[in-house]
Structure 1
Amino acid sequence: MAFLLEKTGTGKIKNPNFEMDIHMGLQIKTKKIGKHLAGWFFVICLTMIAPYADAADKPMEKDTDGDGVTDTRSLFDDDGKILRVEMDTNKDGRMDQVQYYEKETMVRAERDTDLDGQMDCLDYFDQEKRTRQERINKDRAVYQLTLFAENDEPKEMRKDTTGSGFFDTIYYFSKGRPVSSSRDTDENGTVNILETYANDKPVKRTVDENEDGKPETILLFDKQGLPGESRHDLTHDGFLETVRFYQAGKVIREERDNIIFIFDEKGLPKEFLEDTTRSGFIDKRAYFTNGKMIRRTLDENRDGKIDTSVFWNDQEERTRVESDTDFNGVMDTFQYYEKDRITRLEKDENSDGKINLKLYYNSSGEKEKQVRDADADGYFETTHWFNHPDWSLVVEIDNNRDRKPDARFFYTDSVLRVKELDENHDGKIDLKEYYNPQGRLIKSQEDELQTGNLTLTWFYDEDGPAGRAEKDTNADHAVDVRFFYEKGKLVSVEEDSNHDGKPDIWETYDTAEALVKRRKDLDFDGKPDVEEP
């Protein structure tokens, strides 16, 4: 900045007892830091008519605009030389600018720039050239110091941006324009941020956050002084693995090692791309609307076709998942969600474009029911129940489409324990089999008479063949005939012919299962009365 002091008029004193006219014009020319813009920040015109003898006794006051309020006050020494000039530039009754003189040369100028009654900008002069400017805060501490070159252009500016009393930021100028700056963010004496400028705009910024001598961020600016491209070491391993690209100062794309982010005009995520295998192929993508993810895709086998798509709603809740499990390019599995909880799964198991399996879940996300069209005829004949109170799984099969199970299978921990068959499709069980915890058949029941009652029961030995059988001949739910086997062959029979609960006929068979002996209890006293060879 250039400060010029001009003096016009007679400037001489004719006689102490005579009036004198001193016309003094004090002009201070200013230039904004970093800009070649000049202007006058005050112009003082003093016309004073006073006896010389009074000059050292009291200040000279002047109402320059004739509004009745003093707006300029000047103080002289005994020799009539100016010492100080005070000015009220905003007509509030308080002096907001003061100039100090030595040997009629200004050495300091003070200003109250925010008009709060406290001088906050101090300029210092040497031989009418400004050398230093200090900016003062409310605590009377210097928070900005500017040093000037011979031509009144700034050459260095120091700032205390934290109010700690430490100048953490320094700007350097050439021909009045900033060329570089440095900043010590933690005020430990080591510079963390370096920045260069051209044409009053930033060009490059380098940031070393951990002060290891390796930058974590390098930011390049475009011609408008806005961020254009930046590189980052987000993992602090010494490598700038992340690159960001900007448009109009906002990030539009970020590349991080094997990941790419694309942003919209609001700076919100628009698309996400990832090479999960680091093979050079983008196999994972995510799409966003208003910064919220709406879809994510995965090309698991990297054939250029989507294998999995996940969809979200506006509340960022997952609503659907589509999968191509056999990698034939066609989605075959569909999962549906409510409030981010799976409710249903549908699957095309034979790749014919039709759903042939549906799986339903309860409110806790546990499997509840599954239906399957095993023969691809459009009818879901097989039903799996996962919510039976006594069984881990119950499977029902309806082959004749009458909505009634033709077969039912009961499982405990994946082991078949009971099987029921309706072989004649009358809605009644014709065959029921029981299995032990190891899955071995131990008992079976048959509706031999087609009465709707299981009248024949078989019991099996450890090695598999039947060991005995029981028969209800009159469907009264009581055993009338018992058959006994050894190694799968019939050896004897006991029959209750009068249905009193006691056997009255006994038969014995040989190894060829031929009848060799029969005994009868004719009076039903429990003892055989006759025997036939």
Structure 2
Amino acid sequence: MLKLSFLNIIREFFLIGIFLLFFSCPGLTNEEQISYDTDADGFTDLHEFYENGHLIKLEIDLDKDGIMDIFQYYRNDHLMRVESCYQLDSSKGSGTINWWKYFENDLPVLEKRDQNDDGKVDWLLHYKNGKKFKIEADTNFDGKMDRWEYLRDDAVIRLELDEDGDGKPEIIKKLKSNLPTGPILLKTDPSGAFIWINNKLTGQTPMVIKLPSGSHTINFRMEGYKEMAYVIKLQENQSYTFDYKLRADSKKMKSQKPDDDEQTGIDTNADGMEDVFEYRVNGILTGVEKDADFNKKIDRWEYFFDNKLIGVVIDNNFDGIGDEWWFFKNDQKVRVEKDENFDGIIETIID
């Protein structure tokens, strides 16, 4: 029994020795590291790591200081992740990993940054189908994202800002995505219909506006008439006139005479010129036009429904076209939209 046990032990050591010898021979290892001095300065600046003949990792000393600062990880010969301690605004490595980029199916899906090297991620870049889609940033490094940028073809088309630190945006800016059209005249017969463009109350007919090029849905609503909806397609730098005839709705039509519609002009600054015009139907206030700056041009429109203010349009550059919109609910202002560049495109939204 002792002899047999001794032979078994010898056999086990022999097998282990053969195993170690086999897997320690050059060219036969499961794991292998190859190092390079790519610029022939006497210092190694690139390491390649292989497993079963497949590249699994690269380490690169980009700034030639003897410390590896870029790390690339592979799986099944596909790049999966890149890590770096390379400072984004410097030619020198920081020594701490502060940038990560992740890939799926050879396409980027996410980037992360620690911009102030405090060990916390404060910047994210999301990809969709390999293209940049959204950026999130913690601009004051308090651990909360407070800036969101939405991108299309690498251009920012929407910007959201959180100014009170509650994690929700208070300011939303839609940036240029389509070029604006020329002036658009919207008319109805009869006039005075409320205009809704893309589900947003815009004013009353007749009205001149500017819109981004592309398709838009326009609804006309007026007491006693059927709601009319149209889809219009606009080309950049083109002017349009749309004139629609409203159809009476016998179920909603109220008995009224033409002289039940009333317009009243008021001279508020006693200069002999009327600068406020009030419009009523059956004695009910529906709209007010104002020359707020007394320059003989209407630059403010107020709209009412059931005697409640529902919207205000302001012309800040006196071109006869509204560029600021206020929305009201229960007589409280709930939303403001601004065309700050006077190009027909909403740049700022405040809720």
Q: Give the TM-score category using the shorter length.
A: 0.3 to 0.5
TM-score normalised according to structure 2 size:
0.44
Structure with higher helix content: 2
